[in-house]
Amino acid sequence: MKTESYIVKVEVLTPVHVGSGDSLNALNYIRQGDTLYVLDPDRWMEWLGGRQGAIERYIGWVEASLGRGVSLNEFLQERLRLNPSEVATAAKQVSRYAVRLEECGTPDPMRGFRTHIRDARNRAYLPGSSLKGAIRTALIEDLLLEEDALQARLVAPLKRIDGGGDPRRLRREARQVWQGMEAGTLRGGEMDAHYDLLRFVQVSDSEPVAHEQVSVRKVRSEGTNRNTNTWLEALREGAGTRVRLSFQPEAPLRLLGLEGELAQYLRPQELFAVLAERAERRLERELAYPYPPAVKQKVQDLLAQNSEETPLLCIGWGQGYLGTTVMGLVLDESAEEYAQAVRRLLPILPRRGQGIDARRFPKTRRAVRDTKDTARSPLGWVRLVLEEASAG
């Protein structure tokens, strides 16, 4: 079957974090100025082993320091009595990689910072699964906009669930609604992924991102007085990488029970148009949120940069409920039906709906902050630029 492949440049417009699932506290890095040297455990133990009694002193110090929020810098300076030059040398000798603190103050020593996904050589990248997941949501939204599809595949099924007062049952019923919606739009009504349209679309992992294009940032939720500070590694604004986007435009859709019209999504121009339309809807909703001025201006700038030729996509951590679901379509069509759905799903929603008017759920948005604790930008926005094409 013929495959058409395209090289797509991914331009980072706001900090992007795709988590590895790990967090590193102050016992896992050595700080030198605004740079954190992340420990390689093997190198660290080898380095300690070259100093008489250092391993035993380290183990004893860690056990005595549990819960106190201490750092490796303290151990090196106060227990091993290293001078600043020796600490700097040690940091480079025992680290896997270095990452810069960017306008984020000092990470909480115990909670540390969330790490971005990296390859075997400790290079940050964007996984193809994150990009493809965002593409999937955009396609589902586009198909739900046809005639009465939104009511039939999402709104009406949500009205039929109740959970019987059991959150686990409610979660299971909600999952069945989402799965049924996905099957009805992308799988010809089949639950089996074998029938999925996106079998014929592949997105590679990105090329590695240069080390200097990754930094640690501070993120906080807008719309709450709670301390929600989170430090994380993120691809920096202005970073760039590339992915390979492949299609099988002659896929036998009708043999799989899929409508032939779905073949339009197996062409880059049509797909990019769908992505641009979803980005526009999302950004228009975000403009209605009471962001601080700098963030609102950034959202306006993003909206101006979005086009069918170079669409914007939001990926990674921090997108929020309306970013990772298609419920924004329900909100656009009817605030009351959206509120009814939120009330019905309340026991399984983040923070149980946060105790506000269901029509305004969610009440918080995550934003990147600077050293003055001023909110500067939303998370996760990239721009796609088609660079090359080759048939195979």
Give the list of residues 6+ apart from residue 91 with CB closer than 8 angstroms, or none: 30, 32, 37
Q: Quickly list DSSP for 157-169.
A: HHHT--GGG-HHH
Q: For the segment 69-82, what is each residue's pLDDT rounded down to a tens digit?
A: 899 999 999 999 99
Give the list of residues 6+ apart from residue 132 with CB closer than 8 angstroms, or none: 198, 201, 202, 203
- Provide the percentage of residues in the chain whose pLDDT is more than 70: 98
Q: What is the mean pLDDT of residues 372-385?
A: 96
Residue 270, class by beta-carbon neighbours within 10 Å (0-12 exposed, 13-18 middle, 19+ buried)? Answer: middle
Give the per-residue pLDDT at 135.
96
Give the per-residue pLDDT at 165.
84
- Provide the percentage of residues in the chain whose pLDDT is more than 90: 79
User: Regarding predicted confidence, which is higher, 344 or 218?
Assistant: 218
Give the per-residue pLDDT at 65.
86
Domain boundaries, the chain: 4-18+126-391, 27-107
pLDDT beyond 90 at 351: no
Using pLDDT thresholds of 50, 70 and 90, give the confidence band for residue 353: very low
Give the per-residue pLDDT at 366.
94
**CA distance linking residue 234 with residue 15, whole number of Å:** 6
pLDDT beyond 70 at 18: yes
pTM reported for the whole predicted model: 0.93
Q: What is the mean pLDDT of residues 261-266?
A: 92
Does the CA dihedral 153-157-163-167 come out positive or negative? positive
From residue 182, alpha-carbon distances to 48, 50, 336 in Å are 54, 58, 24
User: Regarding predicted confidence, which is higher, 243 or 260?
Assistant: 243
Phi–psi pair at 23, nearest 5 degrees:
-130, 145
